[in-house]
Homo-oligomer: A and B are copies of this chain.
Amino acid sequence: MNDTRYESGLAKLREIDGAAGEAVIESLQAIAPDLARYTIEFPFGEIYQRPGLDLKSRELATVSALTALGHCAPQLEVHIHGALNVGVTPEQIVEVIIQMAVYAGFPAALNGMGVAKAVFAERGLLDEGTAQ
């Protein structure tokens, strides 16, 4: 049933993205509540529920893809939070963003790192183990 996907998707969204994810959903209610529903049901109700890959690996794959695409700064911010929330370390996030310089060019990596820096600062992580 859709209800199952919606409920499990909403729980997964809260587990991974926390308040940042709920803010995305909330911001859609006035204009396109169905896009909010699809966001909950498909990515979070289906994809992030799949057993074939652990959540840390999924979040690293998302951070790398959003960095490479280059036009997804708001979603990259949400998923850097999400990666940290599920146990990815700041160092691992820094590593995949650096790696994107190879595949998408230095501008994409530099802009992705700027997003990571803002998220790390917000969470008080910049004085710790992220400098390599």
Interface residues of A (CB under 8 A from B): 1-2, 5, 24, 27-35, 38-39, 42-43, 46-47, 50, 52-53, 57-58, 60-72, 74-75, 91-92, 94-111, 113-114, 116-117, 120, 126, 130-132
Q: Given contacts A68-B105, A75-B103, could you give 12 more A-B pairs where the C-beta distance is less than 8 Å?
A: A50-B95, A52-B132, A60-B61, A62-B64, A64-B64, A66-B107, A68-B69, A69-B103, A69-B107, A71-B71, A102-B105, A104-B105
Given the interface contacts A103-B107, A110-B24, A132-B32, does A46 sit within 8 Å of B38 by beta carbon?
Answer: yes
Q: Is the CB of A53 within 8 A of B92?
A: yes
Question: Complex Cα distance A92/B34, Å?
Answer: 14
Across the two chains, which residue of chain B brings its CB closest to A100? B65
Min Cβ gap A29→B in Å is 8
Min Cβ gap A42→B in Å is 6
Question: Complex Cα distance A7/B31, Å?
Answer: 29
Question: Complex Cα distance A94/B33, Å?
Answer: 10
Given the interface contacts A52-B94, A111-B72, does A132 sit within 8 Å of B33 by beta carbon?
Answer: yes
* Subset of 20 A-B contacts with CB under 8 Å: A28-B113, A31-B117, A31-B130, A35-B94, A35-B101, A38-B42, A47-B98, A52-B95, A61-B61, A64-B64, A64-B65, A65-B65, A65-B104, A69-B103, A71-B108, A72-B107, A75-B103, A100-B105, A104-B104, A104-B105
